[in-house]
Amino acid sequence: MNIIGITGKARTGKDTLAEYLVSDHGYVRIGFADPIREFVAELTGFSVEQLMDSSLKEQPIDWLGGKSPRELMQTLGTEWGRQMVHEDLWLLVAHMRVRAARQAGAPGVVISDVRFDNEAQFVQELGGRVVGLTRAEAQSVSAHVSESGVAPELVSETFENDGPRYLLRQFADDLA
């Protein structure tokens, strides 16, 4: 089974690349942040899909002291999950989901939110590879540690996503 992890700054096309692998090649999409999104969706009343919308993610929620969904997900994932519970908490959850996809006979798994070195190493330990996406106008949307990226030596190849969408789809085809 092919395992691909995707890393890159916000708005570089990570979710779009993952969606191409799912829709065109039958991959199963797994996110380290899936349980976090599900929790924040339950808490806020937004759907997981709404929480993945880049404009909504940044909107302050008045009844939560002006915190945005992105801030909630970052602090739940990092400060609570990684720092207070277990550094590899989200990897352990993802590993169960990868095993389930493998048992179901999936041709591949794509993890579209590789943000930390240990996550990239996890993908590699499972026999997968980590690809990076860049875009000229992409900037970090936050100074949070989860936005700092993975070490370059953990990224097997990088795709400059500044062209038309069909080029990203061709890259997905090459990866699959």
Which residues does 117 contact at the CB level (< 8 Å), separation at least 6?
A: 150, 151, 154
- Across the range 4-9, mean pLDDT stands at 95
Element (H, E) at 28: strand 28-30
At a CB cut-off of 8 Å and minimum separation 6, what does 120 contact? 5, 7, 114, 130, 150, 151, 154, 155
Please tell me the predicted confidence (pLDDT) of residue 149.
76
Which domains occur in the chain, in start order?
2-175 (3.40.50.300)
Other Cβ atoms less than 10 A from the Cβ of 105: the count is 8
Tell me how far apart the alpha carbons of residues 41 and 22 are, in angstroms, rounded to a whole number.
23
Contacting residues for 74 by C-beta, under 8 A, at least 6 apart: 142, 144, 146
**What is the CB-side half-sphere exposure of residue 20 using CA atoms within 13 A?**
18
What confidence score (pLDDT) does residue 50 get? 87
Q: Are strands 2-8 and 108-111 parallel, antiparallel or unpaired?
A: parallel
Spatial distance between the Cα atoms of 153 and 139, rounded to a whole number of angstroms: 21
Residue 146's pLDDT band (boundaries 50, 70, 90)?
very low
Per-residue pLDDT of 69-124, as tens digits, reads 989 999 999 899 989 999 999 999 999 999 999 999 999 999 999 999 999 999 99
Cα–Cα distance for residue pair 80/99, rounded to 1 Å: 25
For 39-79, the pLDDT digits (tens) are 999 999 999 988 887 678 889 999 999 999 989 999 999 89
